[in-house]
Amino acid sequence: MLRIDKLMLAAALSCAALAGGARADGTVEVLHWWTSGGEAKAVGELKQAFEAEGGKWIDSPIAGGGGDAAMTALRARVMAGNPPTAVQLKGPGIQEWAEQGALNDVQDVAEVGNWDSVLPPALAKIMKYEGKYVAAPVNIHRVDWIWASPEALKKAGVEAMPTTWEEFNAAADKLQDAGLIALAHGGQPWQDATLFETVVLGIGGADFYRKALVELDDAALRSDTMIASFDQLRKLRSYVDPNFSGRDWNLATGMVMRGEAGFQIMGDWAKGEFLAAGKVPGEDFLCASTPGNGFILNSDSFTFFKVSGEDNLKGQKVLARLIMSPEFQKVFNLAKGSIPARTDVPLDDFDICAKRSHEDLLAAIENDTLVPSMAHEMAVPRSVRGEFLDLVTQFFNSDMSSQDATTRLADAVQRAM
């Protein structure tokens, strides 16, 4: 009898320990770089959804557009044996960390949620390692956008959004003649590379883009088309204001918002900034794809690092499930400026730019002109991307000729491969 009592007491105590120690819906420490107005609003939606389920959210934001600072912080955390539970990570970076054995999979969550049937196959492939999901995608961002101030365009007598680079240059000349800044830009390597890749797509087309920036084909990298792309990048350099160096991308968006500048070339996270400031697309600001045919894809996702403890493991699974829920994909993307990664979320409540993005995405898939972003870590390993960023930034900040830039870029990529 006494023995049974003792056993019952021990069982009761371990239940109490579980209830007190491990939270019902786990804990996550989330490392991300979403610190601008629109970005913070979007990540706030995820935090709120996680907390509404009883989970504990520890926020680890690392400021710095494009995520380079966040990736440096991540490496330091992993080296120290203390990885965060969930990390904003994408493209080949997911595979690189998975190959090192650093990631937990969330395959069981993916199977219950039927992720295979609701994600575009190209995106699902990026999220998997050895057939199992190790990441959950939150969105589809498009990189090749021009954002414009209708007020500035009007002042300069520019009647329509440019559809060729010649038209872009002519419009930019008019803006400058009217005493306005033609192109709002922040001189940071990832922003320079963002301009560069949109120009490569526009000048060379999707097949050329793929050869040069994804397959790293030496002949493409040394071609006249690449020289022509650098020529157009040089032209863009002449349209930025003298204070561009080091400026954050969202401050450049602010210049368009206030009508000080005519254009910004930036992914649709810029739209998140306009929306967070209460601006209406088509009225307060305009969107159009950069000249050329195609769609440069950038998708944000979260990976789940190898952490221990029931509480953390539970947190990872709850977060993965929430990220892929249709409700979350809707509210998050309404704030972020992107469109849902899931293909089954209705876009009725989304704005004209998002609808355009979706239509162009489908057309690009159909015409095989969908290409992954080099600047936003969707296309090549980090080491190769680093070479692109270094060279493009050097070009942007010097009087290097297009011919020299082309040769130096091809040599650098070859060394990095």
Residues at the interface with ligand BGC (CB under 6 A):
33, 39, 65-67, 141, 269, 298, 300, 376
Query: Measured between alpha carbons, how far is 138 from 320 in angstroms, rounded to an integer?
Result: 10
Residue nearest to ligand BGC (CB): 269
Query: Of 166, 175, 139, 206, whose CA–CA distance to 379 is shortest?
Result: 206
Extract the tokens encoding 184. Answer: 């709002």
Query: Smallest distance from the beta carbon of 158 to ligand BGC, in angstroms?
Result: 27
Q: Closer to ligand BGC by CB, 273 or 311: give it.
A: 273
Q: Closer to ligand BGC by CB, 141 or 314: give it.
A: 141
> What length does the chain have?
417
Query: Measured between alpha carbons, how far is 185 from 261 in angstroms, rounded to an integer?
Result: 10
Query: Smallest distance from the beta carbon of 384 to ligand BGC, in angstroms?
Result: 17
Q: Closer to ligand BGC by CB, 298 or 312: give it.
A: 298
Query: Smallest distance from the beta carbon of 191 to ligand BGC, in angstroms?
Result: 9
Q: Closer to ligand BGC by CB, 195 or 410: give it.
A: 195
Query: Smallest distance from the beta carbon of 7 to ligand BGC, in angstroms?
Result: 53
Query: Smallest distance from the beta carbon of 298 to ligand BGC, in angstroms?
Result: 5
Q: Closer to ligand BGC by CB, 281 or 372: give it.
A: 372
Query: Of 198, 191, 152, 193, whose CA–CA distance to 171 is shortest?
Result: 152
Query: Measured between alpha carbons, how far is 74 from 50 in angstroms, rounded to an integer?
Result: 22
Query: Smallest distance from the beta carbon of 159 to ligand BGC, in angstroms?
Result: 31
Query: Smallest distance from the beta carbon of 67 to ligand BGC, in angstroms?
Result: 5
Extract the tokens encoding 145. Answer: 């956008």
Q: Closer to ligand BGC by CB, 67 or 340: give it.
A: 67
Q: Closer to ligand BGC by CB, 152 or 374: give it.
A: 374
Residue type, 415: R
Q: Closer to ligand BGC by CB, 299 or 312: give it.
A: 299
Query: Smallest distance from the beta carbon of 49 to ligand BGC, in angstroms?
Result: 18
